[in-house]
């Protein structure tokens, strides 16, 4: 009987997730990002979902308008589109780039670049130092999950 009680007490320890591991189901991502649409005073709202040490983090983003052009000097973005639709411009040259935080540049637009349509279920990887911008048609919105990976 003592062995059985001991095993039962150990079950929660054996089921604990290892450090640095996190799983989000598709349904959970939708439920996490849905409240973001209620927070949109401007055209973009985001929420930090998790941090993995001092390097990587997960963010949920909801846009109801086009974003500015961005360059992350040291982080790659792995985006998973949860809902809505839009267009990504990647590459090219960012106009009037200004440093907005350490390793972060922003500008109003990108000249040139490749245009990619975005829809639910799409996954995009953007390496550090690559200009990118999410564009939306008027009246549309998009919600996506981003894993920011320090490289």
**Sign, CA torsion 133/108/103/50:** negative
Number of structural domains the chain divides into: 1
Q: Is 119 within the bounds of a domain?
A: yes
Residue 47 tokens read as: 């929420």
Kindly report, residue by residue over 65-115, the tens digit of the pLDDT: 999 999 999 999 999 999 999 999 999 999 999 999 999 999 999 999 999
The one-character DSSP state at 65 is S
Q: Does 107 map to a domain?
A: yes
Q: Is residue 4 part of a domain?
A: no
The string of pLDDT tens digits covering residues 105-136 is 999 999 999 999 999 999 999 999 999 999 99
Find the domain containing 38 and state its range: 20-150
Q: Full-prediction pTM beyond 0.75?
A: yes
Could you tell me if residue 116 is inside a domain? yes
At residue 42 the predicted structure's pLDDT band, cuts being 50, 70 and 90, is: low
Mean pLDDT of the chain: 85
Q: Is there a contact between 50 and 128 (Cβ–Cβ < 8 Å)? A: no
The enclosing domain of 31 has a CATH number of 2.60.120.10
In a domain, 15, yes or no: no
CA distance 24 to 89: 27
User: Is residue 9 assigned to a domain?
Assistant: no
Q: Is residue 51 part of a domain?
A: yes
* Residue 110 domain flag: yes
């Amino acid at each position: 009987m003592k062995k059985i009680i001991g095993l039962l007490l150990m079950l929660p320890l054996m089921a604990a997730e290892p450090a640095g591991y996190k799983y989000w189901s598709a349904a959970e991502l939708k439920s996490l990002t849905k409240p973001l649409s209620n927070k949109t005073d401007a055209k973009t709202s985001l929420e930090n979902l998790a941090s993995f040490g001092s390097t990587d983090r997960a963010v949920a983003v909801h846009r109801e308008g086009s974003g500015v052009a961005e360059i992350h000097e040291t982080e790659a973005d792995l985006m998973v589109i949860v809902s809505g639709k839009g267009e990504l411009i990647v590459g090219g040259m960012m106009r009037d780039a200004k440093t907005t935080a350490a390793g972060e540049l922003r500008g109003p637009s990108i000249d040139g670049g490749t245009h990619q349509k975005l829809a639910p279920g799409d996954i995009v990887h953007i390496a550090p130092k690559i200009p990118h911008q999410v564009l939306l048609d008027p009246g549309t919105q998009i919600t996506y999950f981003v894993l920011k990976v320090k490289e």
